[in-house]
Chains A and B, each alone.
Chain A
Amino acid sequence: MKEFLEKKVIRNNNFTLTLTLVVILAAFQLINRNYLSLGNIRSILNQAFVMGTLSVGIGCLLICGKADLSSGSIGMMGGLIVTFLINWGIPWPLAVVITLIAGAFMGALNAFFTNVLNIMPFIATLGVATVLSGLGQVFTNMQDIPVNNKSFWALGTTKFFNLLPLPFLITIVLLVVYGVILKRTRFGRQVYMTGGNANAARLAGINPKMISTILYINSGMIATIAGILTAARVNMGSPTAIVSYNLDAITVAVLGGISFTGGTGSMSGVFIGILLFNSFKNGLVISGLDSYYQIVASGLLLMAALILDFYREKSRLNALRSHKRVS
């Protein structure tokens, strides 16, 4: 029984997360009866898509043992670029494609600093983020820029069954696609192996730098998707949007069971993490808590996730050790 509990509850992260999610939903529903109403669920999902999308790219990088603090700024730039392009009269599908390519370039910048110059990913991506958010301010003079295009607007505001917004659907699609890539393909296994032990991966014939370069470019592109969707939803490009979601995206990924040391975690965990984080945040709002407490509460949630991560890692190592002893 004890073994069963340990296996199912402590080591199976998704089970714990789902349980926590249910508890949170029930608790806030008791506090406010409108919590699980159609309108509020829609507003939770509408808020969730930005950090959800970012967390796909960031999650892959974390699994590979790298970090990315520039996604938010890349996303912000993506929103601005697509806005500018559309306002210049370029048809929106083409503008979206160009923006994605720009995102790939911005991601490649991260890859250059971390892989070619061997700078710590955290600080390198932070530097890139500062440059980009500064450029965003320079280009716009700190003004929001409206988009003049109805069909582009539909990209951000369409919803299905009066419940599921298109941007969140795109997030789900991305999660599924990357979940499959990570778990079912050769490349995915290489990502896990690089994150688990880059040296061992190299000896096994994998090029860890190549893997992380691909993932940085990928993360840049996904970040611009978040930017494009945000620009479409609020119908403007803003030099301050999305930037702050970067940390939230990391929180969600860690909450979802992606370890900071790399090599573990899954997209299904990230999905539950996204729902958990956003229901928690929304619950705090809807129960009338001061918005300042929300900042602190999010911090406590992240800290709890990190400490949980520590114990999870410890139990994993213990399990490995005891396994070795038996054999």
Chain B
Amino acid sequence: MENTNRLRKILTSKEFTLFVTLVAIVLLFGSISPNGAFLKPRNIRSILDSMTIYTLFAVGGALVIISGNIDLSPSYVGAACGVLLAKLLNDGVPWYLVVPICLLMGAAFGVLNAVLINEFKIQSFIATLTTGTFIAKGLVYLIPDGVTYQIKDPVVVWYSTGKIFGFVPITMIISIAIIVIFGIVLAKTRFGRSVYLIGGNANAARLAGLKPKKLSYIIFACSGALGALAGMLYAGRLKSGSLVGTVDYGFPAVTAVILGGVSLGGGTGNMLGCFLGLLIINGFNNGLLVMGVKPYWQDVASGVLLLVALTIDYFSTRERKIRTTLSSKGGMGQ
């Protein structure tokens, strides 16, 4: 009895649906890609490798969305931190100072977002869009004065482009470590439970003795710092402070998060789902690439995937709502 219940719980969970979707995508592209190129180890590594930057944005994004807000600035903050990294290294500042400075700048952007949202009651969507697309994007040009600096620092180049055993990139390990750490923090710690609580119902959380405002500052600072980390790794990989940087990475990351079962209303979702969502999107895009589809279609595909994810989200939350109302009614009847 216990076992069948558990099995049923697994089979009806969001993660299982995602897993099935992922398997379907893998089977589809695995069978139709020329010479099975999709399933070659090199290609699988390249899928995982292309996920690195998205993963970092997705972790921050999921954290913020679970807490009931949304953060669209990290991709721009990441770009700004990437050029800051290149500029400071070029000015001769040692890497062990530059890296914390960049992380701090990312966190500072997060705090700025939190101030706008908590103190001035601006909707998180528009507040983070403002700090991202205007302030951070402006800084991307202003910091290096429009010049693309090369990154030559051996340590930064090592951790950004090095591979362990000559096969597994260090950046991939960093990103997987981050998603695992935040997964554990969310699932197992007091802080994690508070994030879910304020996302589910901020008022109830306040009454339960939590401080939603303070938590929101911490969450946004984390999101900004993760964005900065992503931007630094991106710049390190390119070995230059690109003026475009991670700008285009933010939206697909949010898509992956929502696809991964983190509901926009806040309070639900986990990092395992996010990871599966990331695998689905990157696998899908990579599949299109392997099939030789024009890259412009990827934009269309990610938009369609987002809308599909939102539609699934709508139907599944509706089902859950119906189920809870039904069960509560049943309880009343007894």
Contacts and interface: CB of A to CB of B under 8 A. Distances in A.
Interface of A: 67, 113, 117-120, 122-124, 126-135, 137-138, 141-142, 247, 250, 260, 290, 292-293, 295-296, 298-300, 302-303, 306-307, 309-310, 313
List the 8 shortest-distance A-B pairs measured between CB atoms, nearest first: A299-B134, A134-B299, A130-B303, A296-B138, A131-B303, A134-B300, A292-B141, A295-B138
15 contacts: A117-B310, A123-B70, A124-B310, A126-B306, A127-B303, A128-B303, A130-B303, A134-B298, A260-B126, A292-B138, A292-B141, A296-B138, A300-B134, A306-B127, A307-B120
A123 B303 contact: no
A138 B120 CA distance: 41
Contacts of B303: 127-132, 134
Contacts of A131: 299-300, 303-304, 307
The CB with the most chain A CB atoms within 10 A, among B123, B299, B307, is that of B307
Contacts of A300: 134-135
Contacts of A133: 299
Contact of A296 (B134, B301, B307): B134
A292 B139 CA distance: 8
B310 A134 contact: no
A141 to B, nearest CB: 7
A130 B301 CA distance: 9
A117 B138 contact: no
Contacts of B133: 247, 299
Among B125, B126, B306, B311, chain A packs the most CB atoms within 10 A around the CB of B126
A133 B303 CA distance: 9
B137 interface: yes
A298 B298 CA distance: 31
A106 B224 CA distance: 34
Contacts of A260: 122-123, 126
A90 to B, nearest CB: 26
Interface string B25-52: 0000000000000000000000000000
A127 B305 CA distance: 9
B138 to A, nearest CB: 3
Contacts of B146: 292
Nearest to B296: A137
Contacts of A142: 296
A253 to B, nearest CB: 11
Contacts of A130: 251, 299-300, 302-303, 306
A113 B296 contact: no
Given A292-B138, A299-B134, A117 B314 contact: yes
A310 B121 contact: yes
Contacts of B294: 138, 141
Contacts of B268: none
A33 B116 CA distance: 37
A119 B135 contact: no
A326 B47 CA distance: 66
A132 B304 CA distance: 10
A306 B130 contact: yes
A134 B296 contact: yes
B138 A293 contact: yes
Nearest to A254: B126
A117 B314 CA distance: 6
Contact of A303 (B121, B130, B313): B130
Contacts of B138: 292-293, 295-296, 299
B11 interface: no
A247 to B, nearest CB: 6
Nearest to B315: A117
Given A124-B310, A260-B126, A306-B116, A134 B297 contact: yes
Nearest to A298: B134
B310 A127 contact: yes
B131 interface: yes
Contacts of B139: 296
B164 to A, nearest CB: 36
A126 to B, nearest CB: 7
A22 B118 CA distance: 33
Contact of B314 (A119, A292, A313): A119
A130 B264 CA distance: 18
Contacts of B116: 303, 306-307
A306 B122 contact: yes
Contacts of B204: none
B122 A113 contact: no
B96 to A, nearest CB: 30
Given A128-B303, A130-B251, A307-B120, A122 B125 contact: yes
B129 interface: yes
B126 A299 contact: no
Interface in B221-273: 251, 258, 264
A120 to B, nearest CB: 5
A306 B126 contact: yes
B296 A138 contact: yes
